[in-house]
């Protein structure tokens, strides 16, 4: 058996002609060589041969019904075996050795499932399988399966096999059955069902899932009954009692459905009390094992050597191939498990984001006042930033203390119930995405356009309020210090550096977009922190923990429980944003990525400091006006990038497909033409409540 070829010729084996492949089939070869021959056979089915011998008469020729090429080639192979008994004898001998040595239970009971209930263990396993080569030197069919079926399209041609082809393949495997064991396949099926039932019962009876399931779904104790019912079914199958087997199978299907419904109730609990990717992963694994049990149940109930049995085997095999394709994808694992976490984070951000959207003149003026307060705090932040730079600290410590400065300022703004405009988009975008679920008619689209107008007005009020305070306040402090002390906190050299760095002619716009990414990231941290706080029930712990009650007293413990529940999201967002603005540029520089941050409010404060240091001379400098020109674009990128990223995540987490995007765009354009002022100035009266 000549299969020990150099690595560089592995691809060439796909072009083996059928005659050479059949001649290489050797039942007396070693186990790895026999398994490698099966791998080559499936490669031949998938890829057209480069040469045609006596046994290769037009294997890829079109046939009726447009069958997939691997299926046409399989039919050709079966025809060749019918005409050449010597080839069939060798293939049957090879399959007999395969059936004698291979462990089928590993495929039926374990393939596609994580060895532990931990998501990161499964992630590690997938990375290992993706990066490290497999070996055919194994008796574990689960390991060999990934080498045999390497293409996701294999499931398609397997599912397309007709009855005649299934019968021909089944005949080969019957000939290869060990003598006296024509139905030896039932034993691994029964053992696999017992293994799956035990794992489902253990998962459903475990504390982590059980305490989050609906009590009504657990009233009949489906997980406890599942293992007993499976034992009775398997005993009836081994005894050949068809009536008892059918009765237990019907009851087992009801129990499997009850177990799935109980597991599904975990998601309802998590949506209300916080999402855990580990628990979601365990629920997915439980559902997958229940589906596998149902597939094996259909296999066990099918009469021996019947078309029904062949169809059950076909469906099971096609499903296993799909599982093999999924297990090769790390991205699919993370996307599936984190989609609900993303939704929960987005929904919690949406609840916060509603507070940043104004809908009438009174709310708009309140937002403007809050933004003025935020601008006053950022003015102080600007001077502290220059002070930190003047200390001449090392890169890390300079970034760290800059982060402390930003974080403290943002937290102060939050505690004073003021606002910084650039923090709004990442919070308001999920609130906007929540409206898309109802975009089904013209009235709903108009409602979405109204929300867009409210949002843009709110953003305008936030930016105007920030900038109308930070610029004159920083400039005034500079001028006042110059008059009183003969010098300014920000000197001429620092002012010239500001004009050199913030100018529109440099990489300011790229840095502004990058800052938008950081603003979006802080909203994710906020949503994650609130989800974690709720999931761990820390508000209840703060309220009722005996030690905390003893230290604070009942009244203060209750107060701090409510305060942290209401503010955990804001604290996490502000602290994370501050440290990202300070430290991420330092980390980027360490890796050779010269990134900086350009925050519109901070940049405006820096320009005000530069004008105060240079005086009227700055107004005659082109660099100054290039910096002024960069401010509106910096603000647009800060807001636009963070809003777009947050909106995309929120919409995707809700599985929203905006098929009416063109209608929404047309509605926005009509509103801009007919009532442009509505995007800038609020109505005098609040909009009527549609309810």
Over residues 433-464, the pLDDT tens digits come to 566 555 566 776 777 788 778 877 888 888 89
Least confident of 248-252, 266-270, 393-397: 266-270
Give the pLDDT score at 293.
95
Taking the CA of residue 326 as centre, how many other CA atoms within 13 Å lie in the half-sphere pointing to its CB? 18
Give the pLDDT score at 358.
77
Mean pLDDT (the chain) is 84
Q: What are the pLDDT digits (tens) for 660-679?
A: 566 777 887 888 888 888 87
Work out the pLDDT band at 12, boundaries 50, 70, 90.
very low
**Residue 281 near residue 337, CB atoms below 8 Å:** yes
Q: Token digits for 569?
A: 């999201």
* Region 685-690 average pLDDT: 54
Q: What are the pLDDT digits (tens) for 121-175?
A: 777 777 877 778 888 999 999 889 989 998 888 999 999 999 999 999 999 988 8
The pLDDT of residue 533 is above 70: yes
Q: What are the pLDDT digits (tens) for 172-197?
A: 988 888 765 656 678 899 999 999 99
The pLDDT of residue 486 is above 50: yes
The pLDDT of residue 355 is above 70: no
What is the chain's Cα-based Rg?
34
The pLDDT of residue 22 is above 50: yes
What is the rounded CA–CA span in Å between residue 83 and residue 68?
23
Q: What is the greatest pairwise CA distance in the chain?
A: 108
Least confident of 172-186, 378-392, 518-532: 172-186
**% pLDDT > 70, the chain:** 82
Class for the domain spanning 342-679: mainly alpha
- Reduce the DSSP state of residue 274 to 3 states and report it: coil
Q: Which of 538, 642, 553 is nearest to 597 (CA)?
A: 642
What is the rounded CA–CA span in Å between residue 601 and residue 635?
8
- Which spans in 591-687 are helix H? 600-614, 616-619, 622-653, 661-674
Least confident of 194-198, 334-338, 588-592, 641-645: 334-338
Work out the pLDDT band at 14, boundaries 50, 70, 90.
very low
**Residue 371 near residue 461, CB atoms below 8 Å:** yes
Helix, strand, coil abundance in the chain, percent, nearest 5: 75, 0, 25
Work out the pLDDT band at 359, boundaries 50, 70, 90.
confident
Q: Which of 460, 455, 451 is nearest to 687 (CA)?
A: 451
The pLDDT of residue 218 is above 50: yes
The pLDDT of residue 30 is above 70: yes
DSSP assigned state of 58: S
What is the rounded CA–CA span in Å between residue 30 and residue 616?
90
Give, in order, the Cα–Cα distances in Å from 543 to each of 123, 416, 534, 552, 592. Answer: 37, 24, 13, 10, 48
Neighbours of 434 (CB within 10 A): 20
Neighbours of 632 (CB within 10 A): 12
Q: What are the pLDDT digits (tens) for 311-350?
A: 999 999 999 998 888 777 776 666 665 555 565 555 555 5
Least confident of 347-351, 527-531, 539-543: 347-351
The pLDDT of residue 270 is above 50: yes
Contacts of 48 (CB under 8 A, 6+ apart): 15, 59, 60, 69
Give the pLDDT score at 230.
94
Query: Helices then strands (H, E): number in the chain?
Result: 30, 0
Burial class (CB in 10 A: 0-12, 13-18, 19+), 520: buried
The pLDDT of residue 13 is above 50: no
Helix (H), strand (E) at residue 15: none
What is the rounded CA–CA span in Å between residue 651 and residue 600?
27
What is the rounded CA–CA span in Å between residue 651 and residue 657?
8
The pLDDT of residue 11 is above 80: no
What is the rounded CA–CA span in Å between residue 426 and residue 475?
30
Give the pLDDT score at 336.
61
Work out the pLDDT band at 430, boundaries 50, 70, 90.
low
Work out the pLDDT band at 659, boundaries 50, 70, 90.
low
Q: What are the pLDDT digits (tens) for 46-99?
A: 875 544 444 444 444 444 456 788 999 999 999 999 999 999 999 999 999 998
Give the pLDDT score at 508.
95
What is the rounded CA–CA span in Å between residue 613 and residue 607?
10
The pTM for the full model equals 0.69
Top-confidence residue, 456 or 503: 503
């Amino acid at each position: 058996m000549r299969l020990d070829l150099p690595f560089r010729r592995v691809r060439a084996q796909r072009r083996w002609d059928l005659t050479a492949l059949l001649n290489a089939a050797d039942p007396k070869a070693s186990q790895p060589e026999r398994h490698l021959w099966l791998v080559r056979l499936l490669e031949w089915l998938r890829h057209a041969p480069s040469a045609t011998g006596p046994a290769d008469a037009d294997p890829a020729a079109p046939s009726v019904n447009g069958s997939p090429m691997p299926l046409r080639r399989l039919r050709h192979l079966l025809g060749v075996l019918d005409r050449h008994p010597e080839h069939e004898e060798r293939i049957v001998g090879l399959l007999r050795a395969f059936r004698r040595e291979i462990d089928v239970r590993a495929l039926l009971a374990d393939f596609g499932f994580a060895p532990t209930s931990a998501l990161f263990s499964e992630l590690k396993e997938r990375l290992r399988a993706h990066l490290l080569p497999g070996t055919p030197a194994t008796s574990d069919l689960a390991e060999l399966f990934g080498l045999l079926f390497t293409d996701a399209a294999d499931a398609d041609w397997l599912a397309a096999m007709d009855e005649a082809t299934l019968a021909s393949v089944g005949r080969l495997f019957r000939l290869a059955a060990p003598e006296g064991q024509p139905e030896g396949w039932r034993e691994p099926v029964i053992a696999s069902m017992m293994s799956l039932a035990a794992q489902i019962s253990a998962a459903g009876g475990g504390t982590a899932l059980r305490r989050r399931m609906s009590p009504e779904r657990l009233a009949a104790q489906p997980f406890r009954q599942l293992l007993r019912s499976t034992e009775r079914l398997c005993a009836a199958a081994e005894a050949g009692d068809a009536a008892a087997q059918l009765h237990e199978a019907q009851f087992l299907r009801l129990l499997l459905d009850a177990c799935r419904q109980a597991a599904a109730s975990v998601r309802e609990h998590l949506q209300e009390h916080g999402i855990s990717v580990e628990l979601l992963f365990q629920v997915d694994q439980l559902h997958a094992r229940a589906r596998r049990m149902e597939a094996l149940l259909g296999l066990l109930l099918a009469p021996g050597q019947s078309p029904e049995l062949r169809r059950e085997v076909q469906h099971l095999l096609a499903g296993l191939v799909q599982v093999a394709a999924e297990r090769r994808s790390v991205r699919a694992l993370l996307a599936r498990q984190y989609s609900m976490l993303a939704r929960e984070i987005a929904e919690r951000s949406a609840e916060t984001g509603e507070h940043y959207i104004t809908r009438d003149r009174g709310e708009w003026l309140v937002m403007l006042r809050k933004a003025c307060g935020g601008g006053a705090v950022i003015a102080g932040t600007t001077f502290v930033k220059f002070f930190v730079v003047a200390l001449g600290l090392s890169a890390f410590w300079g970034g760290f203390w800059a982060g402390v400065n930003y974080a403290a300022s943002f937290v102060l703004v939050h505690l004073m119930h003021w606002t910084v405009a650039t923090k709004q988009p990442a919070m308001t975008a999920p609130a906007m995405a929540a409206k898309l679920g109802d975009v089904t008619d013209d009235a709903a689209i108009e409602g979405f356009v109204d929300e867009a107008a409210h949002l843009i007005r709110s953003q305008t009020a936030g930016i105007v309020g920030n900038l109308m305070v930070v610029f004159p306040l920083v400039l005034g402090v500079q001028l006042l210090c110059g008059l009183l002390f003969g010098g300014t906190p920000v000197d001429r050299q620092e002012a010239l550096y500001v004009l050199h760095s913030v100018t529109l002619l440099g990489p300011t716009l790229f840095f502004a977009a990058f800052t938008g990414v950081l603003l979006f990231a802080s909203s994710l941290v906020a949503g994650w922190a609130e989800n974690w706080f709720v999931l761990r029930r820390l508000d209840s712990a703060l309220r009722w923990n005996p030690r905390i009650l003893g230290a604070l007293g009942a009244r203060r413990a209750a107060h701090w429980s409510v305060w942290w529940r209401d503010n955990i999201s804001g604290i996490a967002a502000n602290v994370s944003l501050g440290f990202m603005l300070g430290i991420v540029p330092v980390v980027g520089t360490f890796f050779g990525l010269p990134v900086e941050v350009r925050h519109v409010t901070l940049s405006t404060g820096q320009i005000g400091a530069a004008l105060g240091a240079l005086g009227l001379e700055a107004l005659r400098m082109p660099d100054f006006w290039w910096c002024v020109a960069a401010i509106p674009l910096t603000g647009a990128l800060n807001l636009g990038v963070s809003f777009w990223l947050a909106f995309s995540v929120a919409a995707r987490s809700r599985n929203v497909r905006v098929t009416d995007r063109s209608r929404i765009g047309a509605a926005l354009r009509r509103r801009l033409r007919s009532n442009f002022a509505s995007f800038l100035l609020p109505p005098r009266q609040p909009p009527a409540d549609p309810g």
